[in-house]
Structure 1
């Protein structure tokens, strides 16, 4: 067995069953332990998120960023190519019913994401230059006193997101623009790398400024385009809903046998793609939530609920309904190609360019978010002295990624993504009393 096949086998175990069980189990555990907090505090969470929406908020500094800027930075990472390709892959492999299981995973994931954000806030720290920072490495080392495990997490996320993950994102942008506009991939890589370097060099202030504007803009464009398609295919919406509900428990009936998926496959692909997209429990978004300027940790935990909701129930859901309502599911096409086929079917010649532009926004916002998450872990391991080399390395990987299509690199990204989950979930379970105490205190004070 060569290295590629070995890594594929490992990923099959990690993402096929093990991580699905652990991530969903943690979400169910927190949902029950916190009394369905994502339902009880849902209205309060949305009032806070949209009450603080501001495209030109106060510039972030070494003391952190605003609560909305932190949410935007988290969503920037959550809403990525997975929202265009993830739903398509789930439907193509597991049938329309996979979307039902995606919803279920996201529902429980909202409780997990709240817990991550709360812990990020409670255990945040300052680096050697007085810059506020935080994330799982900090609550693993401070809350559990497991410094070696925290270091393992930090190394995993730097490799998974900062380096390999951002190669995947730049490759997706280059592929889409080469297909839509016939631009050589290397030029796209250089352009994305240059803009990325400009953002990274500006530090937390520029990152927050970019995400607070980019996230509402990119989500708005994609949602409006999708709603237009759904409006022109409004008669197909009831059938799409029926296919999702029936397909969750009888995949063959939902597609007339077009996709030979079982309930097990529908659940597996739906849950896996959903978790991979919204990142609940993976330990990435707490880095953004940790640096928010809030009066109480649970205030930012509410933003964690909103982040998962926007990613799965809004943006990713749009992709799913466009695919199902345009009737392009053929049992052969999958991934981003299926999404492009759906938009082209509805929008004609502008379909491919529309998807390419949306992909640019989605993937670049993810690059910014993932860079920031990796930076927090470089600060944890090496302090601020490690940042110049990290910035240069990320830009190099962005440019390199636009030119490569190496299966091993993509499989390794999944592997390192999986590896960083274990330390984070261990901390989430062991520090549950800390989260529960914070939520109880927050509610007893009647905070808004």
Structure 2
């Protein structure tokens, strides 16, 4: 009965609400920010030059990017792409690209707001996210509470289960390791990392994500270059299937759009309201809220346009029958067909590291909800940590349908609430983007110093954007 309720809710949410909402929001911010993701495409990379600059109050911009990528880069890139292609055909990849390109503007908007409305916690570290800009920017405690509940359910309870499921399935396929053993190991290892706090999670992500991302990219490029003559045909197949030009694809266009946007959002998280939690924890360089917007736009690009495309090309170039295998095993078998016996082992290793970094980043995101749902105390944290770790073990031994359906529902609810909030705060986002661009046009390092009047008008945390906190280092 629970599965029936979840499926019914997902049918309404994804069939009639989320897809048009995401497209409209992405187009809205693309237009209002004057196609910032295309105009300033190169600037996204230049912001990363000094991304390791930080202070004792926050993680660096590079660590914030790695933490957000740790949450993004996981089952969505390896299993999610396989699911999208299996259910929606090759055309689903085209719609993943579309939602990522326009979603980059949405990612800029939410991460800029997350950074603007940050505050210091009792340890002197920065924290923030959608609940904070809903409470401060919109002055809506009810909306902040609603989002926090969705964030807690999604990242604190549900989202780690699909990651654990993918890891367990991949290890069972490659090494015949029983899921119960994988689940036990993941639960214990996760506890060691997450109990160290946000900075330990950020340092772990900073070590693992770049290494595994580069390794996966190199393997995918090898597959592409050894099949270079087939690439035009694969791209043509993706586009024609997406737009219904192929006879077989005309009946699949709805499934392609649905699966492409659903899996694209689940992978890159643009508009979900998850990434601003990591963006807010950073000491940005340049010292301006909009700089984190550029950093997190780059995260969306790397996650979907680069890594998801890698998986798509591996699968579509392999010649494997798409209706014979499902989930992570499809990606494993596809790479095995391309490079030999070690292909499935490499995917198992990749999904372990990608999935595990996602799990620990999920903890950091969910932790931000605790003050809003009155669990920011010793007993509340013990309950939260116990439930979080328990769901990792559950995900390892669950079925794919159980965890995917619940994850889709949590993603959908979070996204609706967040999109409403950032749309209502469009004026603030545009003001910050213009201020940042004004500095760039003058050849200056962008710097945002909020006056007392701006603090009152925007309802900012006092002195968070003062002269001292925004000095050029």
Instruction: Give me the TM-score of the superposition, normalised by structure 2.
Output: 0.88
1:16 corresponds in structure 2 to 15
Cα drift, residue 405 of structure 1? 2.6
Question: Is 1:139 paired with 2:139?
Answer: no
Secondary structure class of the residue paired with 2:225: helix
1:367 equivalenced with 2:359 (yes/no): yes
- State the shift of 1:332 in Å: 4.2
Give the one of 343, 346, 364 matched to 2:335. Answer: 343
Equivalent position to 1:169, from 163, 173, 182: 163
Which of residues 148, 154, 158 is equivalent to 2:152? 158
Gaps of 5+ in 1: none
The 2-side partners of 1:329 and 1:135 are apart by 43
| Contact residue 96 and residue 251 of structure 1 kept, 8 A | no
Partner residue of 1:148 out of 142, 145, 148: 142
Pair 17,222 (structure 1): closer, same or farther in 2 beyond 3 Å = farther
Secondary structure at 1:377's aligned position in 2?
A: coil
Closer, same or farther in 2 for the Cα pair 1:271/1:414, shift >3 Å?
A: closer
Distance 1:94 1:415 in 2: 19
1:265 counterpart (251, 255, 261): 255
One of 416, 419, 423 as aligned partner of 2:417:
423
Aligned CA distance change for structure 1 residues 384 and 315 (closer, same or farther; 3 Å): farther
| Structure 1, 423-432 or 333-342: larger mean CA deviation | 333-342
Q: Which residue of 2 aligns with 1:223?
A: 217
Give the Cα separation in 2 of the matches to 1:397 and 1:320: 29
Out of 275, 283, 306, the position equivalent to 2:273 is 283
Give the 5 Å matches for 1:195-210: 195-210=189-204
Partner in structure 1 of residue 450 of structure 2: none
Question: Could you tell me whether the CA contact under 8 Å between 1:169 and 1:366 is conserved in 2?
Answer: yes
* Distance change in 2, residues 1:425/1:69 (3 Å): same
1:89-141 deviations in whole A, cap 9, x for unaligned?
A: 22222222222221111111000000011000111122344332101110111
2:104 and 2:301 in contact (8 A); partners too:
yes
Alpha-carbon distance in 1 for matches of 2:115, 2:131: 13
Q: Gaps spanning 5+ residues in structure 2: where?
A: 446-473
Contact 1:233/1:326 (CA < 8 Å) preserved in 2?
A: no
- Give the SS at the match of 2:282: coil
Q: How far does residue 251 in structure 1 lie from its aligned partner after superposition?
A: 5.4
More helix by share: 1
- For 1:110 and 1:187, how far apart are their aligned partners in 2? 39
Q: Distance in 2 between matches of 1:290 and 1:298?
A: 11
More divergent stretch after superposition (276-285 vs 349-358):
349-358
1:336-415 → structure 2 map (5 Å cutoff): 336-382=328-374, 383=376, 385=378, 386-405=380-399, 407-415=401-409
| CA drift at 1:317 | 0.5
Equivalent pair of 1:113/1:308 in contact (CA under 8 Å): yes
Q: Displacement of 1:406 after TM fit? A: 7.3
Q: Answer whether contact 2:244 2:250 (CA < 8 A) is retained.
A: no
Q: 1:300 and 2:299 equivalent?
A: no
Q: Provide the C-alpha distance between the structure 2 equivalents of 1:123 and 1:205, rounded to a whole number of angstroms.
A: 20
Which deviates more from structure 2 when the two are superposed, residues 269-278 or residues 24-33? 269-278
Following TM superposition, by how much is the alpha carbon of 1:179 offset from its aligned partner in structure 2, in angstroms? 1.5
Residues 218-227 or 405-414, more deviating: 405-414
1:46 aligned partner: 45
CA distance in 2, matches of 1:399, 1:332: 28
Cα deviation, 1:400-436, whole Å, max 9, x if unaligned, reads 3222337445422221221112221111110000000
Aligned-residue CA RMSD (Å)? 1.9
Tell me the secondary structure at the aligned position of residue 262 of structure 1: helix
> Which residue pairs with 1:94 in the alignment?
88
CA distance in 2, matches of 1:348, 1:213: 28
- Change in Cα spacing, 1:32 to 1:406, as seen in structure 2 (3 Å) is closer
- d(CA) in 1 for partners of 2:50 and 2:305? 21
- The answer to whether the Cα contact below 8 Å between 1:133 and 1:376 also exists between their aligned partners in 2 is yes
